[in-house]
Amino acid sequence: MADFLKNVFGGGEAQKPVAIKPDSDFADFAGAPDPTPEAAPVVGTGGSAPATSTQVPYTKWYNVHERHSLSEFKSEGIILVIGLVIVVLHIIGARANRSKARAWIRAHASLLKSEYALVGFSGIPNMNKDDENTNTLIKEKSLTEFVSYATGRQNTAFTDIKINLTKKYNPIVNTIEHIASFVMESAFETPEDSVEAVIYPFDGKENETVPSLPGSAEARAKDGKSNYDSFVWAIVNKNNMKQVRDLRYDVSLTTTKDNSKLADWLTVMGESAEITNALLTDELAAAVKAAGDAFQYLIITDQPADKPKTLAENVPSKRIILKYRLNSGNNYKEFLPLFTYFNRFPDVLVQTARFRPEVLKKVRATRELMDKELRKALDDEKAEERLLEKEKAKKVKRDAELAGLNAKAQKKFLEKEKEKEMRKAQKKQTMRG
The 10s digit of each residue's pLDDT in 237-246 is 999 888 888 8
Residue 387 has pLDDT above 50, yes or no: yes
CA angle at residue 57 from 53 to 63, to 5 degrees?
A: 150
Residue 233 has pLDDT above 90, yes or no: yes
Is the separation of the CB atoms in 154 and 116 below 8 Å? no
Residues 91 and 165 in one domain: yes
Query: CB-based burial of residue 85 (10 Å sphere; 0-12 exposed, 13-18 middle, 19+ buried)?
Result: exposed
Task: Residue 246: name the closest of 174, 184, 177 by CA.
Answer: 184
Banded pLDDT at 419 (limits 50, 70, 90)? confident
Is the separation of the CB atoms in 335 and 291 below 8 Å? yes
Q: Residue 55 falls within a domain, yes or no?
A: no
Q: Residue 127 falls within a domain, yes or no?
A: yes
Q: Residue 373 falls within a domain, yes or no?
A: yes
Instruction: Check residues 57 and 415 and name the one with the higher pLDDT.
Output: 415
Q: Residue 402 falls within a domain, yes or no?
A: no
Task: Please tell me the distance from the alpha carbon of residue 74 to that of residue 66, in angstroms, as a whole number.
Answer: 18
Q: Which helix (H) or strand (E) holds 142?
A: strand 139-142
Residues 301 and 253 in one domain: yes
Residues 182 and 262 in one domain: no
Residues 215 and 82 in one domain: yes
Residues 90 and 158 in one domain: yes
Domain count, the chain: 2
Instruction: Check residues 286 and 328 and name the one with the higher pLDDT.
Output: 286
User: Quick one: pLDDT at residue 319?
Assistant: 94
Banded pLDDT at 14 (limits 50, 70, 90)? very low
Range of the domain at 141: 78-221+333-352
Residue 139 has pLDDT above 50, yes or no: yes
Residues 156 and 283 in one domain: no
Phi, psi at residue 210, to the nearest 5°? -125, 75
Q: pLDDT tens, 332-345?
A: 888 999 999 999 99
Instruction: Check residues 425 and 37 and name the one with the higher pLDDT.
Output: 425
Q: Residue 26 falls within a domain, yes or no?
A: no
User: Quick one: pLDDT at residue 390?
Assistant: 85
Q: Residue 430 falls within a domain, yes or no?
A: no
Residue 279 has pLDDT above 90, yes or no: yes
Q: Residue 21 falls within a domain, yes or no?
A: no
Q: Residue 432 falls within a domain, yes or no?
A: no
